């Protein structure tokens, strides 16, 4: 005769009760009971044993429902454990789908930024700030949208809107780059989407930088140099009611132009120039000889290779550095007028005011869409390649490799010798860039936009 619930209530530990057809219960010391299922299965030596739950939390009807399912699976040759594993996976997939609906673009942005701080080379504050601004401006109305609902069509339409109506195609393309990385993280790490919608139109929509047509011609280099050299005379000085406010912009603009000129003469990235400190600039004979150099040089931190790089100071560079060192009491050559997010004095984070001024003065360029740091770096590399026709020299000048062949040198001496090795090359390139030559170099007419040297800078 099958057991009843009354039997469970009155039973004492360790009594076992048979409710029939494989459903059983075993009394426990605390007055509760453990439901379990035990039944023979064809092909198995031992009876199938499955724990079901605890009485009274699980009542008889609920226990019988589970036992009925297991009996059905056994009759079909399916082991109940296999069935339970399948159900666990289904619940996991349902949870993934629920998570996909719950995580919004704004939440994904926060989680992705946080993940970028845990990698061997964490994102800089500037990169984090730029990503936040770009995503929140281009996709401002998507921030509360579940990422599962972001489609390729939506992304393509938004890019078209920013390219045509807002006339800010570069910002739209940058946003797609950031979004693609974020959605890859959502797919591979969070597993909340099955595919990245950005992948669907990668071939149709170019979201990579174009290597060609991004440098200045020799004549444009000379015009560029003149525009900066004469900027202080051409820019209207602050006066009148708003003089104090305008003075801030005026000073920032002139400092930006000095930074841009140094980028032009060195081929360094924007942040590599803006982050220069006074203690890494060796202008006097005593300073450079103590470091093992043969002339003035400075040390820059190459953000791409994560290493220091010695740059010889040419005559036009020297005037910029001397002026900036004299103009500031901050440790930075290009100090920020405001404290950073940590409440510390730091360096400028952008020289956009300078480029805005220069793009107004030089709107129609032959081989570049606009003036920016990338244009200057590729101009420097292209000039070096056309002048010396040797990739090892170009790589050495741009910090990709060292041109040194000497062996075991201390780090400080290594950097000093690095600048010594490259001094003659920097002097020649600077002379060409600022027009300190009698006539354009012979190769000037050869440059037709086909050199892809800029891709590696």
CATH number, domain at 190? 1.10.150.130
What pLDDT, on the 0 to 100 scale, is given for residue 243?
65
* Residue where a domain terminates, one of 201, 230, 259: 201
- Domain contains 212: no
Q: Are residues 148 and 68 in the same domain?
A: no
* Residue where a domain terminates, one of 59, 82, 99: 99
- The residue ranges of the chain whose pLDDT is under 50 are 204, 207-211, 402-411, 446-457
- Domain contains 168: yes
Q: Are residues 52 and 71 in the same domain?
A: yes
- Domain contains 208: no
What pLDDT, on the 0 to 100 scale, is given for residue 448?
41
Q: In whole angstroms, give the CA distance from residue 224 to residue 354.
A: 12
CATH number of the domain residue 433 falls in: 1.10.443.10
- Domain contains 210: no
What pLDDT, on the 0 to 100 scale, is given for residue 406?
44
Q: Are residues 330 and 437 in the same domain?
A: yes
Q: Are residues 95 and 110 in the same domain?
A: no
- Domain contains 207: no
Q: Domain span at residue 118?
A: 103-201
Residues with Cβ within 8 Å of 218's Cβ and at least 6 positions away in sequence, in order, are: 383, 432, 440, 441, 444
Q: Are residues 54 and 110 in the same domain?
A: no
Alpha-carbon distances, residue 424 vs 410, 419, 430, 435 (angstroms): 23, 10, 10, 17
Cβ–Cβ under 8 Å, residues 336 and 347: yes
- Domain contains 111: yes
- Domain contains 431: yes
Q: Are residues 238 and 316 in the same domain?
A: yes
What pLDDT, on the 0 to 100 scale, is given for residue 444?
76
What pLDDT, on the 0 to 100 scale, is given for residue 325?
93
- As given in the structure block, the two tokens for residue 34 are 């453990």
Across 28-42, b (16+ Cβ under 10 Å) vs e yields eeeeebbbbbebebe
Q: What is the pTM of this model?
A: 0.58
Number of folded domains that form the chain: 3
Q: What angle do CA 169, 170, 174 make, to 5 degrees?
A: 115
- As given in the structure block, the two tokens for residue 315 are 């005559």
HEC sequence for 320-338:
HHHHHHHHCCCCECCEEEE
What pLDDT, on the 0 to 100 scale, is given for residue 100?
56
Q: Are residues 282 and 338 in the same domain?
A: yes
What pLDDT, on the 0 to 100 scale, is given for residue 408?
43
Q: Are residues 42 and 122 in the same domain?
A: no
Four-residue CA torsion sign, 183, 185, 188, 193? negative
Q: Are residues 306 and 386 in the same domain?
A: yes
* Residue where a domain terminates, one of 73, 99, 125: 99
Cβ–Cβ under 8 Å, residues 284 and 363: no
Q: Are residues 164 and 227 in the same domain?
A: no
């Amino acid at each position: 005769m099958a057991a009843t619930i009354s039997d469970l209530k009155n039973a004492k530990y360790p009594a076992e009760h048979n409710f029939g057809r494989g459903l059983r219960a075993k009394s426990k010391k605390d007055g509760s009971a453990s439901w379990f299922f035990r039944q023979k299965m064809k092909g198995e030596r031992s009876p199938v044993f499955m724990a079901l739950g605890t009485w009274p939390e699980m009542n008889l009807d609920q226990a019988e429902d589970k036992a009925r399912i297991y009996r059905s699976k056994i009759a079909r040759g399916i082991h109940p454990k296999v069935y339970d594993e399948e159900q666990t996976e289904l619940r996991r997939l349902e949870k993934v789908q629920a998570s996909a609906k719950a995580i919004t673009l704004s939440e994904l942005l926060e989680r992705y930024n946080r993940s970028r701080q845990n990698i061997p080379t964490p994102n800089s504050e500037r990169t984090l700030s730029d990503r936040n601004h770009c995503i929140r401006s281009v996709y401002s109305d998507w921030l509360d949208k579940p990422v599962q609902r972001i489609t390729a069509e939506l992304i393509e339409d938004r890019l078209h809107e920013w390219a045509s109506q807002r006339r800010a195609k570069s910002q739209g393309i940058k946003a797609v780059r950031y979004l693609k990385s974020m959605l890859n993280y959502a797919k591979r790490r969070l597993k909340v989407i099955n595919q990245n919608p950005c992948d669907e139109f990668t071939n149709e929509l170019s979201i990579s930088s174009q290597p060609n047509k991004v440098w200045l011609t020799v004549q444009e280099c000379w015009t560029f140099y003149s525009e900066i050299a004469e900027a202080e005379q051409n820019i209207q000085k602050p006066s009148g009611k708003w003089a104090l406010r305008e003075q801030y912009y005026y000073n920032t603009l002139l400092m930006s132009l000095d930074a841009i000129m140094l980028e032009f003469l060195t081929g360094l990235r924007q942040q590599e120039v803006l982050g220069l400190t006074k203690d890494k600039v060796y202008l006097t004979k005593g300073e450079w000889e103590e470091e093992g150099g043969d002339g003035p040089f400075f040390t820059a931190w190459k953000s791409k290779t994560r290493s220091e790089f010695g740059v010889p100071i040419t005559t036009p560079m020297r005037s910029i550095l001397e002026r900036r060192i004299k103009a500031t009491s901050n440790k930075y050559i290009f100090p920020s007028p405001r404290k950073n997010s940590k409440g510390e004095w730091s360096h400028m984070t952008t020289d956009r005011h300078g480029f805005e001024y220069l793009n107004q003065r030089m709107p129609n360029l032959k081989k570049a869409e606009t003036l920016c740091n990338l244009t200057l770096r590729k101009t420097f590399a292209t000039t070096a390649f056309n002048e010396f026709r040797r990739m090892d020299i170009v790589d050495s000048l741009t910090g990709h490799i060292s041109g040194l062949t000497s062996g075991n040198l201390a780090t400080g001496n290594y950097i000093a010798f690095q600048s010594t090795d490259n001094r003659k090359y920097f002097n020649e390139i600077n002379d060409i860039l600022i027009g300190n030559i009698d006539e354009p170099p012979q190769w000037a007419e050869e440059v037709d936009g086909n050199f892809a040297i800029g891709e590696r800078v």
